[in-house]
Amino acid sequence: MRVVDLGCGTGELSARLHHELAAGETLGIDRSEAMLARARPRAEGGLRFEAGDIAAFAARAAYDLVFSNAALHWVDDTALFARLTAALRPGGQLAVQMPANFDHPSHLVAAQVAGEAPFCDALGGHARAGRAVLPPEEYALLLERLGYAEQHVRLQVYGHRLAARDEVVEWVKGTLLTDYQRRLPAELYARFVARYRERLLPALEDTRPYFFTFKRVLLWAQR
């Protein structure tokens, strides 16, 4: 098989795919040089990594598998899936996982804080609302319109037992809030996180442990 992993991060899943599928060639693509620095030591015969932007990804009948884990939600482009489909050979497969927890307080509060001064001015009005992720039934329709012969789309709720509600802040700092961290000066980002914590915690049930529910869309399709 010829495989591409879009938004490969540290390359851990790219390497696992490469070995478990006995792929002839696997390419991991990520725009973060910090992530690629961690991924490149995993490179070996047939497995390689390179810098690239998912939003600009384009190929023609080049891959047997287009794979992406927790990356496509950063791309707000309805034509993206058409390009991914064009990259597949006949009989090729698409396998994607995307976070879909944007209606949870952990995400809603971040957008609200982004609308407050002084963050709003510094962000130029940007607020990560998660509009790039569709309801699962819309992905099913999209895959049908793109001509896939088989598909499986589902919404999965993952439950995470955290010691307390405070840990939700640390969780989101490693996911959603990275977008704001890239856009804000360090001092202002620290204030953003403090304000986020101040507004979020009262919106969460004060239990120990705290059961944090997180929704994800998982889809697979074959041409």
Assess contact for 17 and 39: CB atoms under 8 A.
no
Residues 37-86: tens digit of each pLDDT: 999 999 999 999 999 999 999 999 999 999 999 999 989 887 999 999 99
Chain centroid to CA 81: how far?
14
Between the alpha carbon of residue 158 and those of residues 49, 131, 139, 151, 184, the distances in Å are 30, 21, 20, 22, 30
Per-residue pLDDT band for 129 (boundaries 50, 70, 90) equals low
Task: Output the pLDDT for position 74.
Answer: 87
Mean of all residue pLDDT scores within the chain: 95
Q: Which two tokens stand for residue 130?
A: 């998660």
pLDDT the model gives residue 128? 67
**What integer pLDDT is reported at residue 41 of this predicted model?**
98
- Cβ atoms 49, 28 nearer than 8 A: yes
Residue 112: pLDDT over 90: yes
Q: What is the dihedral of CA 83, 86, 89, 92, to 10 degrees?
A: 50
Residue 220 CA to residue 208 CA, distance in Å, equals 36
**Amino acid 76: pLDDT:** 84
Instruction: Tell me what the mean pLDDT of segment 198-208 comes to.
Output: 98
Q: Which two tokens stand for residue 91?
A: 């009989």
pLDDT above 90 (res 32): yes
Mean pLDDT of 125-140: 83
pLDDT value at residue 130: 56
Percentage of residues in the chain having pLDDT higher than 90? 93
* Count of residues making up the chain: 223
